[in-house]
Amino acid sequence: EIQMTQSPSSLSASLGDSVTITCQASQDIGNYLNWYQQKSGKAPNLLITEASNLGTGVPSRFSGSGSGTDFTFTIIGIQPEDIGTYYCQQFDKLPLTFGGGTKVEIK
Amino acid sequence: QVQLVQSGAEVKKPGASVKISCRASVETFTRYYIHWVRQAPGQTPEWMGAISPSGGSGTYAQRFQGRITVTRDTSTSTVYMDLSSLRSADTAVYYCARGPSAHTYFDHWGPGTLVSVS
């Protein structure tokens, strides 16, 4: 089973700041990585597919990069509606696995 | 319009089984895999298994093998997830989600079904 390690586990940012989350896979997964945002009490929402492809209707302040084992997710100019928990998910091998999550708060 | 409608919350005793339904739009049911992902309170999501749009047997995470069965009813465009031998650690919100394949992203999710085991 591929382990996905996310960091940090939580962060607090001021409105308009840029924030970066990293995700490391326990083995090479190519670009088979997705990113989701989850708000409290709701299902996750797809933001990024295949490491860097923005999902349908997702604002351009969100971006992703990386390949192999190391990946980065960035929000440029964080907005109040961006609070929530962010997860990476690999789909190279079954079982599909998620990172531990990064809780994002606004100062 | 993509719709994934799940059945309501369940309360079960340890050792019992639970069967959760996920009714999809016809397009989703006939063209996409339906996956099951659960999330225990305060925990990260956990993929459990999936079934293809052509039917057949499901594909399951090893840790649930022997306890999980995913089936489809084409007459109602509904997918079912049956989990047996429940224990307290199975208390979670169970989501169905669609994806274009078994190895995939999830672009639409159901609202979730809370299963409490105690």
The token duo for B13 is 């005793």
Q: Are the Cβ atoms of B103 and A89 closer than 8 angstroms? A: no
Residues 27-46 of A with CB under 8 A from B: 32, 34, 36, 43-46
Rg (CA), chain B: 13
Enumerate residues 6+ apart whose C-beta is below 8 A from A48: A34, A35, A54, A55, A58, A62, A63, A64, A73
pLDDT tens per residue across span B16-70: 999 999 999 999 999 999 999 999 999 999 999 999 999 878 999 999 999 999 9
Q: Are the Cβ atoms of A46 and B104 closer than 8 angstroms? A: no
Cα A17 → chain centroid: 17
Q: Are the Cβ atoms of A96 and B109 closer than 8 angstroms? A: no
Determine the length of chain A. 107
Closest-CA residue to B48 (of B31, B30, B67): B67
The token duo for A35 is 């990113």
Q: Are the Cβ atoms of A43 and B109 closer than 8 angstroms? A: yes
Task: Give the chain B residue whose CA is nearest to the CA of A31.
Answer: B104
pLDDT of residue A13: 97
Q: Is A99 on the interface with B (CB under 8 A)?
A: yes
Task: Give the chain A residue whose CA is nearest to the CA of B110.
Answer: A43
pLDDT of residue B3: 86
The vertex-B59 CA angle with A90 and B113, nearest 5°, equals 80
DSSP output for A42-80? S--EEEEETTTEEPTT--TTEEEEEETTEEEEEEES--G
Task: Give the chain A residue whose CA is nearest to the CA of B107.
Answer: A46
pLDDT tens per residue across span A14-55: 999 999 999 999 999 999 999 999 999 999 999 999 999 999
pLDDT tens per residue across span B98-118: 999 999 999 999 999 999 999
Facing residue for A95 by CB, picked from B62, B105, B106: B62
* Chain B environment of A36 (Cβ under 8 Å): 106
pLDDT of residue B55: 82
